[in-house]
Amino acid sequence: MEQSSNNRTSLAVAILLLIMAIAVLVTAYDFRGGSGIFPRFIGWIFVGLTFTECLIQLKVVLSPSASSAFNESTLVKNKIIKEFQGVFWIVFFLILLYLTGFLIGIPLYIFSFLRLSAKRTYKQSIIMSVTATILVYVLFIQLLQYRLFQGILFGA
């Protein structure tokens, strides 16, 4: 995948990781007994590594050649919109699954996705969502005798 992250975002990521490292290290000091030994050991290494990464990224950002700030800004913006959409669809699916389980969640999700995001016709969307669900049903429930999650609305 092409590296579209520019240097400032790399620095931001590094700082975020450093904060996380400090957080887990501090939490590790609260573990009683021997549970904390190894996490603390690794925690210090983690902090050290992320700190080094921050310094490196900082150096790159501050150096004079780092002027490639926001080229192709509209393309980047479209990409970020697409990314949020992608995340949204996954979260949507998760909520559906949690509430209604697999057998209802899957066709609803596929139908919505095909209809709204891929802009396919009603007929195509219904067919594909039902087909996928039937495949899952036959494979997991009938053939393998699994009990798939039923969703909390239906008493799981």
Pair of tokens at residue 108: 């609803």
Binding pattern for the stretch 114-153 against other proteins, x by CB under 8 A and - elsewhere? x--xx-x--x--xxx-x-xxx-xx-xxxx-xxxxxx----
Residue 64 interacting with other proteins (CB under 8 A)? no
**Site for other proteins (CB under 8 A): which residue of 19, 35, 59, 63?**
35
Candidate ranges 60-68, 69-77, 88-96; the one touching other proteins (CB under 8 A): 88-96
Residues 6 or more apart whose CB falls under 8 angstroms from that of 49 comprise 21
Taking every pair of Cα atoms in the chain, the longest distance, rounded to a whole number of angstroms, is 65
The residue to which tokens 């969703």 are assigned: 151
What are the angstrom distances between the C-alpha of 102 and each of 35, 106, 144, 147?
Answer: 38, 6, 15, 10
The residue to which tokens 């009990």 are assigned: 147
Minimal distance in Å, beta carbon 21 to other proteins?
A: 7
Residue 9 interacting with other proteins (CB under 8 A)? yes
**Site for other proteins (CB under 8 A): which residue of 49, 58, 61, 76?**
49
Minimal distance in Å, beta carbon 102 to other proteins?
A: 6
